Amino acid sequence: MKKANYKPRKRPQQPRSVKMVTWILDAATRVLEKESLEGFNTNRVAEVAGVSIGSLYQYFPNKDALTVALIEKTQQELVIALTKAAELTHAKPLAESVRELARVAIIHQQTRPRLSRILDLEEQRLSPEAVLSRSARAIQTTLVDFLQQHRKDITVPNVQEAATDILTIVKALVDANTGEVSEKLERRVERAIIGYLCYS
């Protein structure tokens, strides 16, 4: 039985250590983008980062922990963008607001299509074990708030559940359509979300 510990081994305090973690994460990002999952191995990441393999394992207890750190980092960027967008759409009608949120999510993913797709895949592979991450919960919360604000316009029986389902649906559509023209994809995502929310 494998232990599933994806927490970073230590929060590095010393300046050099902070830098090393940054190097490692940057290297991991580059390796994943350029060589995809097949080329993603810890020895290669350490090499690209310019640190020894031993140092990598001082900060990340295993390869999956490194992947989880990347997922966290990416999701933090997304939650910031989504929260900002959600605030801006305050008084606008549902359809328009959804369209803007969808656009943010799609743009976020299309900034680094290969990487985002891989990280979503890895998140699914790891999710049964991993506790829902801080940033994943933040995204969920932002979406629940958004749905509450539009409570009168939607027909879902349970807002929590709806938020989860919508996140699942949007991720799936966006990942399955990597490379699709942004506007077309936006319209289909909008259809899926509002269709789900307003079904009666």
Q: Which residues bind a second copy (CB under 8 A)?
A: 2, 37-38, 121, 124-125, 156, 161, 164-165, 168-169, 171-173, 175-176, 188, 191-192, 194-199
Q: Which does 124 bind (CB under 5 to 8 A by kind): DNA, a second copy, none?
A: a second copy
Work out which of 22, 36, 43, 148 binds DNA, going by CB under 7 A.
43
What is the rounded CA–CA span in Å between residue 64 and residue 186?
A: 32
**For residues 97 and 150, is the Cβ–Cβ distance under 8 A?**
yes
Task: Work out whether 113 is an interface residue with DNA (CB under 7 A).
Answer: no
For the chain, the farthest-separated pair of C-alpha atoms sits apart, in whole angstroms, at: 58
Q: How many CA atoms lie within 13 A of 98 on its CB side?
A: 25
Query: What phi and psi values does residue 161 have, to the nearest 5 degrees?
Result: -60, -45
Cβ nearer to DNA, comparing 19 with 184: 19
Q: Which does 148 bind (CB under 5 to 8 A by kind): DNA, a second copy, none?
A: none
Task: For CA atoms 36, 37, 38, 40, give the dihedral sign.
Answer: positive
**Binding map of DNA across residues 58-97, x = CB under 7 A, - = no contact:** x--xxxx---------------------------------
